[in-house]
Amino acid sequence: MRHSVTLILLFTLTACSSLSDKDALKGKTAEELYAMAMVQMDNVSYDKAIKLFETLQSRYPYGRYAQQAQLEMAYAYYKHDEPDSALSEVDRFIKQYPNNSHVDYAYYLKGLINFNEELGLLGNLTQPDLSERDPREARAAFDAFRDLITRFPNSKYATDSRLRMQYLTNSLARHETQVAGYYLRRGAYTAAASRANGVLTEFPHTASTRDALQIMVQAYDAMGITELRDDAQRVLDLNIARDGIRPSTKESPANKKRWWQFWM
């Protein structure tokens, strides 16, 4: 059966000059339309593949080919640099087919789509006003990968998802620390301390905690809140001692210039 479908597909692709020609697709079965679309996927012709998947779904809205076509169409949109459409298809697939054997891949793809979006956001460190950045894509990617490993811990995509979650955690922690540093430079000490404290709460095991503590020390010192400043300093010293670095006793961290004071 597979060989016969392949032969029919080859004759069809040779005979018609345009896949948008309705006459060329007339009478095609769901299996044939799916096979034609996958040929276009292999040829990196994602726009043509999307049209074929849409035709398949409109003509044959039920069955395994319709389900698979929706997931493949999400991937095609993703590769065609249309993340919004890709996410829409993935979310629809997860909602409509929660028990599908490939739903773990749907969660993984959702994470990948947002992961690529957030790289453009958090990877660009030349934007001066960090408070205007919106890390929603990074958080959405993290949530999708977390859903995957929670629901399907034995999925073949789980290992890679965990690695990406770790990267996202570190990226989000750096982002929040940079925002806190931005507020500190602008003299918004309450906001700086709050964002820095959020790093300790949300991302306690990242490398950014030390920078967050340093920001808290300076922010509380500038506000004259000596008790909180000293508490933050004690925790900072413990972190430094734990890492085997001897803290300086010559100068208070509140009077030192830090990396965020020079970063623009």
pLDDT digits (tens, 9 = 90+) for 122-131: 544 444 444 4
Asked whether 60 and 66 are in contact (CB, 8 A), the reply is yes
**Which CATH fold topology does 1-82 show?**
1.25.40
pTM: 0.73
Q: What is the CB neighbour count within 10 angstroms for residue 227?
A: 8
Q: What is the pLDDT of residue 24?
A: 75
Determine the Cα–Cα distance for residues 104 and 155; give it in Å rounded to an integer: 7
The per-residue pLDDT for range 159-210, each reduced to its tens digit, is: 999 999 999 999 899 999 999 999 999 999 999 999 999 999 999 889 899 9
The per-residue pLDDT for range 51-93, each reduced to its tens digit, is: 999 999 999 999 899 999 999 999 999 999 999 999 999 999 9
Asked whether 39 and 62 are in contact (CB, 8 A), the reply is no
Domain boundaries, the chain: 1-82
| Cβ within 8 Å of residue 12, ≥6 positions away | 24, 28, 32, 36
Length of the chain: 264
Distance, first Cα to last Cα, the chain: 64
Asked whether 28 and 21 are in contact (CB, 8 A), the reply is no
